[in-house]
Structure 1
Amino acid sequence: MLVREAMTSPVVTIPPGATVRQAVRVLDEHEITALPVVDGRRLVGIVSEMDLLRGEFEADPRAFARPVATPGTPSPRHVGDVMTRDVRTARPTTDVAELAEMMMRTRIKSVPVLDGPDIVGIVGRRDLVAILARGDARIRDDVLAAIAEYGAAPWDVSVDDGAVELRGSAGESARRIAEVLARTVPGVTRVSVRAPGAGPASPPAP
């Protein structure tokens, strides 16, 4: 599976000169957790919920036995002051499995998707969870639809916890086509083929 099949698009962005409160309202209005920061068309950073919340709340003196000291420096007021500038990005043709591994390894929650200089999407943890949450019945329907749309030979399809098994009597070329088509369906974790001359099961699907 490729990133372009998993990403959220179009993308809500914000300029670096926007205020922190403006950015907070955008996050709340769109129910998202991060915003790519764009200067013109150029990606210059990304800002998350935690970036925006940092320093925005002053301590309430009612919670303390003695007066709370006022911070010596004011909290940042603009997105450009709090954003992360070193942004990890992906391409539309990046393998979702590769991206998910990177996100888990680095604990990054959202990754902008660039096609050349343009932001065409964003992939967050919610997008990946939504893919994995797809039920087996829906995955089976989508695999059958993908094979039928391509005009490939008919196959019997069963799905168990995201693992797809294709059964049929087609030749090697048809087997490869059906396998590739099944691997493009969101939620598929593995594809195996039961057919004359079929080789071992393919590795986990992206």
Structure 2
Amino acid sequence: MLVREAMTSPVVTIPPSATVRQAIRVLDEHDITALPVVEGTGRLVGIVSEMDLLRGEFDADPRAFARPLPSSRTPTPRRVADVMTRDVRTVRPGADVAELAETMMSTRVKSVPVVDGHDVVGIVGRRDLIAVLARGDARIRDDVVTAIAEYGPPGSGWDVSVDGGVVELRGRADASARRIAGILAQTIPGVTRVSIHGPDAGRGG
């Protein structure tokens, strides 16, 4: 499965000149957790998350403390440019979702902008990956059957079963037809692995 099949698009972005409160309202209105930060030319210059925006935004309530709090405090950042992460990990639309998921887990990155050239074309967050995996087996099976029927070699009959996102293809087909069927099955959102069974057939994906 490719990143472009899992990403959220179009993506909501924000300029670095926006205020922190403006960015917070955008997150709330769109029910999202991160915003790619882009300049007027569309160039990606950073990413800002919920945690970045919340840091320092709340004053301590004196009712929670036995002694009065000092009146002076460090001014909170006012602009997105002051709080955003500038070293942004990005991914291409044609990248493999499985590889991206491993990277996100190992680095603990929650959201990754998707860039095509200089354009931000989408974003992949943990919610997107969960949504892909949450697709039911029956729906996945229907999509696999449809894809093979529409784009596979004519006359290739397959018995398709899906269990927990793992697709099993059973049928009599030559090596070329098996390879094509396996590739088509792997493009379906929610598919985690593909196994092909038949005369002299090995395992795919």
Tell me the TM-score normalized by structure 1. 0.95
Match of 1:31 in 2: 31
2: CA distance between counterparts of 1:81 and 1:71?
Answer: 21
Query: Structure 1 residues 71 and 132 mapped into 2: Cα distance closer, same or farther (>3 Å)?
Result: farther
Gaps in structure 1 of 5+ consecutive residues: none
SS in structure 2 at match of 1:47 = strand
2: CA distance between counterparts of 1:163 and 1:114?
Answer: 29
Match of 2:120 in 1: 119
1: CA distance between counterparts of 2:166 and 2:85?
Answer: 38
Gaps in structure 2 of 5+ consecutive residues: none
1: CA distance between counterparts of 2:196 and 2:64?
Answer: 64
Deviation at 1:70, TM superposition (A): 3.3
Q: Could you list the per-position Cα deviations for residues 37-59 of structure 1 after superposition, in whole angstroms to 9, with x for gaps in the alignment?
A: 00121100000001000000000
Quick one: which of 166, 170, 173 aligns to 2:173?
A: 170
Deviation at 1:78, TM superposition (A): 0.6
2: CA distance between counterparts of 1:149 and 1:87?
Answer: 39
Q: Could you list the per-position Cα deviations for residues 97-124 of structure 1 after superposition, in whole angstroms to 9, with x for gaps in the alignment?
A: 1111110011000000000000000000
Match of 2:88 in 1: 87
1: CA distance between counterparts of 2:150 and 2:30?
Answer: 35
Identity of aligned residues (%): 77
1:202 maps onto 2:180 in alignment: no
Q: Give aligned pairs, total.
A: 202
Alignment of 1:97-136 (within 5 A): 97-136=98-137
Runs of 4+ residues over 4 Å off in structure 1: none
Does the 8 Å CA contact 1:147/1:154 hold for their aligned counterparts?
no
1: CA distance between counterparts of 2:172 and 2:166?
Answer: 20
2: CA distance between counterparts of 1:135 and 1:72?
Answer: 52
Q: Could you list the per-position Cα deviations for residues 177-198 of structure 1 after superposition, in whole angstroms to 9, with x for gaps in the alignment?
A: 1011001111111111111121
Q: Could you list the per-position Cα deviations for residues 146-189 of structure 1 after superposition, in whole angstroms to 9, with x for gaps in the alignment?
A: 11111432311001111111011121111111011001111111
Query: Structure 1 residues 71 and 35 mapped into 2: Cα distance closer, same or farther (>3 Å)?
Result: farther
Query: Structure 1 residues 71 and 85 mapped into 2: Cα distance closer, same or farther (>3 Å)?
Result: farther
1:20 maps onto 2:20 in alignment: yes
2: CA distance between counterparts of 1:19 and 1:106?
Answer: 28
Pairwise CA RMSD of aligned residues? Answer: 1.0
